[in-house]
Amino acid sequence: MSTELAHTETAAFSLLIVEDEPNLRAALIAMVALEGFATLEASTMEEARKVLGESRVDAVLVDLSLPDGSGLDLIGESHVQPEPEYVVVTGDATAETAVQALRRGALDYLTKPVDRARLRSVLTNLQRTRALKTDVSDLRDHLRELGRFGKMVGRSDAMQKVYALIQRVAPTDAAVFVTGESGTGKELVAETIHSLSSRRARPFLALNCGAMAPTLIESELFGHEKGSFTGAERRRLGYFERANGSTLFLDEISEMPLDLQVKLLRVLEASVVTRVGGTEATPVDVRIIAASNRDPLKAVANGTLREDLLYRLNVFPIELPPLRARGADVTLLAERFLDEVNARQGTQKTFTPRALARLQATAWPGNVRELKNVVERAAILADEAIDLEALPSLKAVEPVSSDATLRVRVGSPLAEVERRLILSTLEALNGNKRQAAETLGISLKTLYSRLNVYQGHGHNEKPRDAAGGRSPAIARDDEAGS
């Protein structure tokens, strides 16, 4: 970028440099000024907070180690909107330091001594990210009112949180790990992140690691040379080379063979790929979004996912809620899917109120994918209005019976009463933890914490009443007459 062009494009872009070493601070100010940015300076955390409180700042270059604290602590402190972008400057250029900075919300990092070419690249990325975030923010505000975010549909609080995470991470190059039950829309999240990123001009590529034969997946990922194995009649580029400059979505990453996970980790760390049967290393610039319908920590514990690979991929985790936790989104999605069917078939079919109520009351173990299939089947079976007879047998979420009881002995320890109440409620709701938490008036996190404690103490038995029979119910002992 020429100095003249930089001045034209960045005249309004202000950058705060926080560095306690005077010579380095002066050098950074000079280099940044040459690229056309307006600069502010501070030597301590206290001074930086004062500048952020008094001046408009688009970005902050902050030393990781300052006399009065860590530069990471500045990230997220600003109450102005939009919050400045952060780039940390460090003399400790380890992968752990970089990942820690990115997880805290930093856009990038620089190592000392600062290379001017690297600084120029970071400054260019700062401008691009700032512009993208402005575009994404405008898109988000407009579409959320309509219950949409890119291709994603839903206006529930659970999905609003997902949208906010997508908005934050999309303009960056950080690796993203999407988790959620099967059918919740993990690939759609990856597509949305790509479409809101600086890589959106290049094709988005996706590979399902669980659907690929172990003998073929290495060739699919990294490509192969002619004659490298039986059937390799010509050179073939793999997903990494085809996704150069773009985004690669690796679905069901925990299904990838462990020996291939080692090779994938090397590619991610070195940003070079070697085709099967080849010796030449090819540089690649690929953003990775991985996904799994398993708990990644359990996959590590079970030996199906390498811990070091998870550490590399899980820079920015996004967890998708199941459809049963999204409230009225069920109706919104069902009507959207029916609109798509009507558009394809040239029909004008609608749901009856009874049909919508049935859809809303269903547990949806297959989530959004299952709902879409049910809607398409119902549209085939119905003539005009889609009523109950066009819907298959759907398992509804049953409420806890209001007259159910749980007998406890007077004088029982409160911890034991709580344990039995939680387990009985969970049993009555067929193991639906989210609904059990809502019924008990506690958070889902609290429920999981309690269950972990019970499991650790060997309390895995089903709750029983005083007579020894199962009683999935809730009541005080004196109300039950014992």
- 373 pLDDT band, cuts 50/70/90, is very high
Does 454 map to a domain? yes
Residue 470: per-residue pLDDT: 37
Residue 91's pLDDT is 78
Give the number of other Cβ atoms within 10 Å of residue 399's Cβ.
11
Say whether both 232 and 271 belong to one domain. yes
What one-character DSSP code corresponds to residue 398? Answer: P
> What is the pLDDT at residue 427?
76
- Read off the CATH number of the domain in which 337 is found: 1.10.8.60
One-letter amino acid identity for 102?
L
**Model confidence at 456: pLDDT above 70:** no
403 Cβ contact list (under 8 Å, min separation 6): 473
Tell me if 100 is assigned to some domain: yes
Comparing 37-41, 199-203, 225-229, 478-482, the range with the smallest average pLDDT is 478-482
Q: Is 291 helix (H, G, I), strand (E, B) or coil?
A: strand
How much is the pLDDT for 408? 73
Q: Where does 400-472 have alpha helices with state H?
A: 414-428, 433-440, 444-456
Q: Which of 367, 390, 413 corresponds to the end of one domain?
A: 390
**Are residues 49 and 106 both part of a single domain?**
yes
**Choice between 233 and 310, residue whose per-residue pLDDT is larger:** 310
Q: Are residues 165 and 307 in the same domain?
A: yes
Q: The domain that contains 43 carries what CATH number?
A: 3.40.50.2300
- Taking 3-state DSSP, the helix, strand and coil percentages for the chain, each rounded to the nearest 5, stand at 45, 15, 40
Residues 85 and 27 in one domain: yes
The tally of domains found in the chain comes to 4
Query: What CATH number is given to the structural domain containing 416?
Result: 1.10.10.60
Same domain, 228 and 306: yes
| Contact criterion met (CB below 8 Å) for 392 and 371 | no
How far is the CA of 263 from the CAs of 45, 245, 281, in angstroms? Answer: 41, 20, 13
**Is residue 230 in some structural domain?**
yes
- Where does the pLDDT of residue 144 fall: very low under 50, low under 70, confident under 90, or very high at 90 and above? low
Cα torsion 124, 309, 187, 134 to 10°: value is: -20
Cα angle 170, 175, 180; round to 5: 85
Span 291-340, pLDDT tens digits: 999 899 999 999 999 999 999 999 999 999 999 899 889 999 999 999 99
278 lies in the same domain as 341: no
Q: What are the tokens at 389? A: 């007879």
Which of 319, 354, 379 terminates a domain? The answer is 319
CB 109 within 8 A of CB 174: no
Mean pLDDT of 240-259: 94
Distance CA 290, CA 294 (A): 12
Residue 343: predicted pLDDT = 94
Per-residue pLDDT of 22-55, as tens digits, reads 999 999 999 888 888 888 999 999 999 888 888 8
As a whole number, mean pLDDT of residues 221-249 equals 84
| pLDDT of the residue at 232 | 67
The confidence score (pLDDT) of residue 192 equals 93
Q: Tell whether 124 and 41 lie within a shared domain.
A: yes
Q: Which residue has the higher pLDDT, 313 or 12?
A: 313
441 located within any domain: yes
Backbone angles phi, psi at 386, to 5 degrees: -90, 110
Q: Please report which confidence band the pLDDT of residue 134 belongs to, taking 50, 70 and 90 as the band edges.
A: low
Question: 38 and 109 share a domain?
Answer: yes
State the chain's mean pLDDT as an integer: 81
Q: Of 428, 345, 338, which Cα lies nearest the Cα of 385?
A: 338
Q: Assess whether 173 and 122 both reside in one domain.
A: no
At 477, the pLDDT band (50, 70, 90 cuts) reads: very low
Tell me the mean pLDDT in the region 152-170. Answer: 90
In-domain check, residue 434: yes
Looking at the structure, tell me whether residues 173 and 238 fall in a common domain: yes
* Phi–psi pair at 271, nearest 5 degrees: 60, 35
Please say if the pLDDT value at position 377 is more than 90. yes
Report pLDDT for 382: 92
Task: Answer yes or no: is 158 within a domain.
Answer: yes
Domain that holds residue 187: 146-319
